Structure 1
């Protein structure tokens, strides 16, 4: 796997690190292709029970590499390729799969936001189930500043966190939010002093990785299904997932542990 994205596994936690620290982990096509593969592999690996995505150095992800975009625009204007509109849409949509994977994979995902999260970098963080922010983190949609409309699911995700009116404001005006303001708006789950940021993030990830993996997956399925379906249909989906999770070894062992007044041990089975 390319070194612009690093992966490591620690106690059933897969850590995916964007690794272009010199550019605040700005996205390139190589990074996005590698990132999507890394997320797909983590989603499919039964030994991985929680996924953490973070950035190397001072930033989480500054969004797309605007310098590279400007150079590409110059080549396209000069008639040196660039591909048709449909092909470019298809390429971007495939790259955006990383957001869908983080949002939908049947295991908890955490965005560990160590620094700036801007543009598509913010969208990527929003796609995770939980967001832990360093007190040095900064957040901005950024798209309007470079004449873009937004991608990687940010518009869909942000309005569900802060409401449609506030999301529009954040997109139109590209306000820069510090970590505390992001917490107040409900964009992040928790803000942690920078020196404690990584230990607390890993502690949370390991707690989730030691939990009822199959139940977490069905919880996520309920949430994802409910985002686009009726209440009545979601009740049916919940009933299906509730009965299915009740058939697992984890449930049976946890019920026994409850009766015996001891802590359950979950194996993801």
Structure 2
């Protein structure tokens, strides 16, 4: 569809190269906070990605100076007031849409890389925690202030990413971490200079795209199955996954 000078810019940018799909949250004036339109568009894009047999890697980043500042505060205020239309929540279940986005990232059958170009706060932090690999600009910061406002915030995925001790400390204090500290506790895998982030994300995407087709999908499925399973069950599931991968790749180890 052609746009005119009067059309608003798309809230989600999409570009694909050699099987690496890059999605860019594009509400820079709102620090890429998730309103109804952006959250729905992101969910649609992830559904399309999951159905694309040529997709090898997904990279998610933000436009401007923030990765994602969380849910749009004005829209969330309407949600708390019981007005669910045009808010970043499902009007039927009242569930916040960022939770559905996180599920989509966790189950997408390819590696998900987040390139955090700036702050990842609240729901933005949950998106970060749902990724498989996390690269951050040195300017990025990370935090979860929800508990100080009586909300549970990122309890599930932050605990999964950094463990209960760090997650509890961050919730109790409402502390904001810089990129180096986030790397130290395992929230971020790699920190680069701000101007190096796009190239680092592209290089990581190309490297991961070279993985054997379907292998990482099996790993992600197994990871979810064994996360809280007893060790003997986890090992059995791992062995079954190994045999499935063996068949998938023609007997190669």
TM-score, L = length of structure 1: 0.83
Q: How far 1:209 moved relative to its partner?
A: 1.0
Q: 1:130 aligns with which of 126, 129, 133?
A: 133
The answer to whether structure 1 residue 97 and structure 2 residue 104 are counterparts is no
The answer on whether the counterparts of 2:34 and 2:72 sit within 8 Å (CA) in structure 1 is yes
1:135-146 alignment to 2 at 5 Å? 135-146=138-149
CA displacement, residues 59-104 of structure 1 (integer Å, 9 cap, x when unaligned): 100001113333565xx48xxx558xx9757142555221012112
What is the CA–CA distance in structure 2 between the aligned matches of 1:57 and 1:34, rounded to whole Å?
Answer: 19
Q: Which moved more, 1:160-169 or 1:36-45?
A: 160-169
User: 1:200–1:251: structure 2 CA closer, same or farther, 3 Å change rule?
Assistant: farther
The answer on whether the counterparts of 2:57 and 2:112 sit within 8 Å (CA) in structure 1 is yes
CA displacement, residues 91-132 of structure 1 (integer Å, 9 cap, x when unaligned): 425552210121122211011100010000000111001110
Instruction: Tell me how many residue pairs correspond in the alignment.
Output: 243
The answer on whether the counterparts of 1:33 and 1:95 sit within 8 Å (CA) in structure 2 is no
1:193 paired residue number: 193
2:4 paired residue number: none
Q: How far 1:214 moved relative to its partner?
A: 1.1
Q: How far 1:219 moved relative to its partner?
A: 1.3
User: 1:188–1:95: structure 2 CA closer, same or farther, 3 Å change rule?
Assistant: closer
The answer on whether the counterparts of 2:98 and 2:123 sit within 8 Å (CA) in structure 1 is no
2:208 paired residue number: 208
The answer to whether structure 1 residue 114 and structure 2 residue 121 are counterparts is no
2:26 paired residue number: 19
SS of 1:136 mapped into structure 2: coil
User: 1:144–1:238: structure 2 CA closer, same or farther, 3 Å change rule?
Assistant: same
CA displacement, residues 14-55 of structure 1 (integer Å, 9 cap, x when unaligned): 111111000110110111111111112112211111111111
User: 1:70–1:46: structure 2 CA closer, same or farther, 3 Å change rule?
Assistant: same
Unaligned runs of 5+ in 2: 2-8
What is the CA–CA distance in structure 2 between the aligned matches of 1:58 and 1:169, rounded to whole Å?
Answer: 26
SS of 1:246 mapped into structure 2: helix
Greater share of residues in helix? 1
SS of 1:98 mapped into structure 2: helix
Q: How far 1:157 moved relative to its partner?
A: 2.1
CA RMSD of aligned residues (A): 2.3
Q: How far 1:243 moved relative to its partner?
A: 1.0
Unaligned runs of 5+ in 1: 256-269
Q: Which moved more, 1:36-45 or 1:127-136?
A: 36-45
Q: How far 1:249 moved relative to its partner?
A: 4.0
> Which structure: larger Rg?
1
1:165 paired residue number: 165
Q: How far 1:195 moved relative to its partner?
A: 1.4
